[in-house]
Amino acid sequence: MSQPKYIHALDIPVPVRAELDAGTQKYFALCDEKLGMVPNVLASYSFNAAKLRAFSDMYSELMLGESGLTKLEREMIAVAVSSVNNCFYCLTAHGAAVRELSGDPILGELMVMNYRAAELSPKQRAMLDFAYKLTKSPNEIEESDRQALRDAGWRDHDIWDISAAASFFNMSNRMASAIDMMPNEAYHSQAR
Amino acid sequence: MSQPKYIHALDIPVPVRAELDAGTQKYFALCDEKLGMVPNVLASYSFNAAKLRAFSDMYSELMLGESGLTKLEREMIAVAVSSVNNCFYCLTAHGAAVRELSGDPILGELMVMNYRAAELSPKQRAMLDFAYKLTKSPNEIEESDRQALRDAGWRDHDIWDISAAASFFNMSNRMASAIDMMPNEAYHSQAR
Amino acid sequence: MSQPKYIHALDIPVPVRAELDAGTQKYFALCDEKLGMVPNVLASYSFNAAKLRAFSDMYSELMLGESGLTKLEREMIAVAVSSVNNCFYCLTAHGAAVRELSGDPILGELMVMNYRAAELSPKQRAMLDFAYKLTKSPNEIEESDRQALRDAGWRDHDIWDISAAASFFNMSNRMASAIDMMPNEAYHSQAR
Amino acid sequence: MSQPKYIHALDIPVPVRAELDAGTQKYFALCDEKLGMVPNVLASYSFNAAKLRAFSDMYSELMLGESGLTKLEREMIAVAVSSVNNCFYCLTAHGAAVRELSGDPILGELMVMNYRAAELSPKQRAMLDFAYKLTKSPNEIEESDRQALRDAGWRDHDIWDISAAASFFNMSNRMASAIDMMPNEAYHSQAR
Amino acid sequence: MSQPKYIHALDIPVPVRAELDAGTQKYFALCDEKLGMVPNVLASYSFNAAKLRAFSDMYSELMLGESGLTKLEREMIAVAVSSVNNCFYCLTAHGAAVRELSGDPILGELMVMNYRAAELSPKQRAMLDFAYKLTKSPNEIEESDRQALRDAGWRDHDIWDISAAASFFNMSNRMASAIDMMPNEAYHSQAR
Amino acid sequence: MSQPKYIHALDIPVPVRAELDAGTQKYFALCDEKLGMVPNVLASYSFNAAKLRAFSDMYSELMLGESGLTKLEREMIAVAVSSVNNCFYCLTAHGAAVRELSGDPILGELMVMNYRAAELSPKQRAMLDFAYKLTKSPNEIEESDRQALRDAGWRDHDIWDISAAASFFNMSNRMASAIDMMPNEAYHSQAR
């Protein structure tokens, strides 16, 4: 009943792998190797190499680059933000990542459903409270909100990274919702 | 990290099974048999037999009694409503029920994350649209909303049942959030 | 102009009293005796004895059973919650109850219109602030909200009861709005 | 318990009648004669004759001047708007006016609680729907909203008056809430 | 492309100057002299002398009369409130006034876009925070909000004036949006 | 009074131009040449070359790359989205771009203040309505919203670009608000 209807709802066909440029083919082969799949978000963007590269470069820098935040913490932000925006694609893909990286399936569910129900360190809780407010009412963010992060133990470079991750998923959630992007089914059973 | 901290946050201890009255013990034995556990919501209420019975009677009538809605449809309403309210307990317990009853793990995720991403019959979609609006802005419900259900194929007795299920979870979500009720861990892995 | 159009908007006729089962007839006779009427909510449910009993049992336990909250306090919660949800039925019926139980007609109006304008004890004010937040944004309830109740003098069993009353009217408000339930006219002039 | 604590919460004493200028004294004498009281809103403004006159002139022109709307219709708008803003003062004073002008106590309650539950002509319903949207999301008003009023039978001069009345109470509600203005107690029992 | 389509969207023609009564002609001549134009809001109201005078009297008293607030502060409130309500007319006209009175074009933009980004004295910031909350959720204003103004250095008469200005623009914003009132083009380039 | 306090509020100093890597220096020289300045957003990101490049690559592809949308239309989306989020930085920078590209200063103001007040083609209006809804309630986007764009004359590739631009500014607005990023003052007077 609920099988993904399509990769996304627009009439912009996902190119056949063999027809992609060499760079994209190589990147997708790496995805296959590391993730066991090419995430549908990347397949969606592959109709245009420049758009794909812009998206994947930003994504990689943000989620995989050096940071005072662990990869798990960045994924926790991804999911908590996506929960506010009810983004099916991102909750599915990044919920799996939280389960995977934490080895804690319940933590993934908590981020999807309501991060306030999770037993987190005050530092991580402050991180998610900031991401939540930035998502819901960005116009009301004030110095006191940044200070709360510092008081919880985050450095200013970390505040940049928390802000950047939360902001990125506010973009990504909307792009996925705008075109009704469907996640790869494999995510659902990962790391349960 | 995310292990349930407690059954709920109030200083109202859950009684030992052996000390419960005979009726409750029998009811809990039935739960063990049918569900493989006593749901934490019932354990929470068991400090007071009258409260437990009132809750479980209403629940059973609503979710298990005769209706023009299938049990699965009632569970879909439960989860879609709980998604608006971000209720960790209800999303966990009733998300599992949707997976179980439908044999479709992805459908459970869709209800938790965003029912609009699911490929549903127009009739079921109308049912969830009504439950969503009734949850978000009950003051704006009008005759045209009821008529949309009739136009989608629901009879007036069904509208009662859709309304009653959606309303019940607006209660149950708030009770669980108010006392920070934690679901049994077993739900998370069920019917994946 | 504004005479109630019907008891509710669904095509589910309210049974004639004489055709109800003996238990319901007895219950309605008791209503006549105690309240001078059968509340329309009970008449509405009487098409199905199991639904009626489930509703009235929960209602009685909650609003009339033993509690650290007075009956008036529970009615104040009922009205303050119904004010957020703009429920005509519940504001009418429970507004009358607040006037009746308090002997203070203005208090009833204050609960209907804006409880913040009432001069309440800090303890009662904390109770209504909790009920208001639980109604508006249940997902944002935190331990600090429960602690505010404790600090105001409520015990944990009282927090259960405050939560249960506020949650119940979030159900009841939605059920009434969903089917456009009309209150008995007699309420309007009671205890003015 | 709920007796008005004061006329308003600011340290701006209401002048003694005898010390008011002749014009104000005459105006207040007229209020006594026509309404049996000086409304607290006027008493509040009387510390400054210019402010009082500005307020009362606008009020009189709007609510009592010539218009394609009846006085009752203007009062219905006053109350429906005040219901969105939960203004205790305006709901009390103008709820009484609706009861008085309509001779229908229940209509007053309906406007206070939820105008959608009232059985109104399509023309009056359109008027209140416009006032409701203009109150809740003025930024989203469009030509189609004005056209809906025309389609319901209102002329463009009436649309001006509907807009002006709804707008005025968005001011008046906020002024009353800002200073916690308390209505005269006499309103509560009027025209029940 | 974006040239004002009309002065407002209703079929209520703006009278020719020569046909206005003597008082209005004199008032408009004064506007020409002082402002270099007759603001479209006044032109709009000029079809009815009583409405025009009621509006302009209240406006003058509020924005130009004696007060513990400077004229600039009152204009800052006007713009910050109009920003919440996204009122094109008022943001344009009063944004120009802030630029003019402050000699600081950027301050005008800050009020239009987000007053929280401006570097203000704590006293002025408290003033705008109060106006913002009074605009967004008047029902939640409490004594603590008034006290915050006192703590920031405002006297109770000033709180009246802050409240009155914020309330007035909640009226004026809605009136302008209701009839799609267009500002005089000249405002846009003033005091840049 | 309102002079920008800093480029942003975090303790992450903006590097001196001479110390930037050659690529960034060249990029900034190009900015100087084309825009007459280095936008503060780029200066902010320049502490980390990878972050800067990821941001500027995505920005360039999106706003300057080939598209069925004109550059002006993309800037109109940028501003309309930023208006919902009240982002001072983006409203300032992209408001200037709308004025510049359209040669119509008022159009810039309309996008900043309320795009609904602008006289736009139905096609452009549909574009902004989609961007507005995607910003405010991404979870409620449905096929009918995409169809409205097609009906207004947009092709599916354009829907991708509309979605991508609206999504991008939901990221960018939040990043700017999170760190209180201040726009270059020069924007304010451009193309007035």
Question: How does DSSP assign B80-109, residue by residue?
Answer: HHHHHHT-HHHHHHHHHHHHHHHT-HHHHH
CA distance E38 to E42: 7
- pLDDT (tens digit per residue) in B120-145: 999 999 999 999 999 999 999 999 99
CA distance A172 to A166: 10
Q: Which segments of chain C have a pLDDT < 50?
A: 1-2
Is residue A12 in some structural domain? no
pLDDT of residue B2: 47
CA distance D74 to F122: 35
* CA nearest to A80, candidates A126, A23, A39: A126
pLDDT of residue C1: 43
Is residue F12 in some structural domain? no
The residue from D29, D49, D64 where one domain ends is D64
Could you say which of D12, D57, D159 has the minimum Cβ distance to residue E57? D57
CA distance A68 to A156: 10
Asked whether residue D31 falls in the same domain as residue D126, the answer is no
pLDDT of residue F5: 78
pLDDT of residue B5: 77
Is residue B46 in some structural domain? yes
Does A touch D (3+ CB pairs < 8 Å)? no
CA distance D9 to C187: 33
Longest C-alpha distance within chain F, in Å? 52
Is residue E27 in some structural domain? yes
Side-chain-side CA neighbours of F54 within 13 Å: the count stands at 20
Tell whether the model's pLDDT for residue A3 goes beyond 80.
no
Q: Which of E8, E106, E123 to probe the F interface (max F CBs under 10 A)? A: E106
Using a pLDDT cut of 90, give the percent of chain B over it.
97
pLDDT of residue E5: 78
pLDDT of residue E119: 96
Asked whether residue E75 falls in the same domain as residue E57, the answer is no
Burial string for D136-167 (b: 16+ CB within 10 Å, else e) reads: eebbebbeebbeebeebebebbbbbbbbbbbb
* CA nearest to C86, candidates D78, B100, D109: D109
Q: Which segments of chain B have a pLDDT < 70?
A: 1-4
**What domain count does chain F have?**
2
pLDDT of residue A37: 97
DSSP character for C138? G
Asked whether residue C174 falls in the same domain as residue C116, the answer is yes
Does F touch A (3+ CB pairs < 8 Å)? yes
- pLDDT (tens digit per residue) in F9-21: 999 999 999 999 9
- Residues of B within an 8 Å Cβ radius of A: 1-5, 83, 86-88, 91-92, 102, 104-107, 109-110, 112-114, 117-120, 180, 182, 185, 188-189, 192
Which residues in chain C are contacts of D180 at CB distance < 8 A?
Answer: 117
Q: Which residues contact C122 (CB under 8 A, 6 or more apart)?
A: C152
- Determine the average pLDDT of the residues in A56-85: 98
Whether residue A81 contacts residue A172, with contact meaning beta carbons closer than 8 Å, is answered with no
- Are D119 and C88 a contacting pair at CB < 8 A? no
Is residue E8 in some structural domain? no
- Are B157 and C12 a contacting pair at CB < 8 A? yes
Whether residue A107 contacts residue B2, with contact meaning beta carbons closer than 8 Å, is answered with yes
- pLDDT (tens digit per residue) in F91-120: 999 999 999 999 999 999 999 999 999 999
Task: Indicate which CATH number applies to the domain containing C125.
Answer: 1.20.1290.10
- Are A104 and B5 a contacting pair at CB < 8 A? no
Side-chain-side CA neighbours of E129 within 13 Å: the count stands at 19
Q: Give chain F's mean pLDDT.
A: 96
Asked whether residue A54 falls in the same domain as residue A84, the answer is no
Taking CA atoms, F113 is separated from A33, D169, D171, E93, F170, in Å, by 49, 24, 21, 12, 17
Asked whether residue D84 falls in the same domain as residue D57, the answer is no
Asked whether residue D78 falls in the same domain as residue D150, the answer is yes
SS3 C182: coil
Is residue C90 in some structural domain? yes
pLDDT of residue B178: 98
Q: Which residues contact D90 (CB under 8 A, 6 or more apart)?
A: D78, D79, D81, D82, D169, D172, D173, D176
Asked whether residue E109 falls in the same domain as residue E170, the answer is yes
Taking CA atoms, E10 is separated from C48, D17, D146, E5, in Å, by 54, 43, 9, 12
Q: What is the mean pLDDT of each run of 10 residues along chain E (192 residues)?
A: 76 96 97 97 98 98 98 98 98 98 98 98 98 98 98 98 98 98 96 94
pLDDT band at F4 (very low <50, low <70, confident <90, very high): low
Asked whether residue E86 falls in the same domain as residue E169, the answer is yes
- Are A142 and E114 a contacting pair at CB < 8 A? no
Q: Which of B133, B139, B141, B144 to probe the D interface (max D CBs under 10 A)? A: B139
Can you give the pTM of this predicted structure? 0.97
Asked whether residue C43 falls in the same domain as residue C128, the answer is no
Task: Indicate which CATH number applies to the domain containing C24.
Answer: 1.20.5.810
Tell whether the model's pLDDT for residue F175 goes beyond 60.
yes
- Determine the average pLDDT of the residues in D133-153: 98
CA distance F52 to A65: 13
Structure tokens at C166: 């506020």
Asked whether residue A135 falls in the same domain as residue A96, the answer is yes
CA distance B19 to B88: 29
Could you say which of B86, B156, B180 has the minimum Cβ distance to residue C11? B156
Q: Which residue's structure tokens are 């009704």? A: A180
Question: Counting one residue from C and one from D, how many pairs have CB atoms under 8 Å apart?
Answer: 88
Q: Which domain holds residue E179?
A: 71-189
Tell whether the model's pLDDT for residue F46 goes beyond 50.
yes
CA distance E10 to E44: 10
Question: How does DSSP assign A132-144, residue by residue?
Answer: HHHHH-GGG--HH
Is this complex scored with an ipTM above 0.95? Answer: yes
Is residue E6 in some structural domain? no
Tell whether the model's pLDDT for residue D2 goes beyond 70.
no
Q: Tell me which chain A residue has its CA closest to the CA of residue F160.
A: A179
Whether residue F79 contacts residue F98, with contact meaning beta carbons closer than 8 Å, is answered with yes
pLDDT of residue C145: 98
What is the Cα E192 distance to its own chain's centre? 18
- pLDDT (tens digit per residue) in C10-25: 999 999 999 999 999 9
Asked whether residue E32 falls in the same domain as residue E86, the answer is no
- Determine the average pLDDT of the residues in F38-44: 98
Asked whether residue A37 falls in the same domain as residue A100, the answer is no
pLDDT band at F137 (very low <50, low <70, confident <90, very high): very high
CA distance E185 to F154: 32
Task: Kindly provide the residue ranges of all beta strands, DSSP E only, lying in F41-181, ordered along the sequence.
Answer: none
Structure tokens at E5: 């389509």
CA distance, residue C113 to nearest chain E CA (Å): 10
Q: Give chain D's mean pLDDT.
A: 96
Is residue E10 in some structural domain? no
The residue from D45, D64, D83 where one domain ends is D64
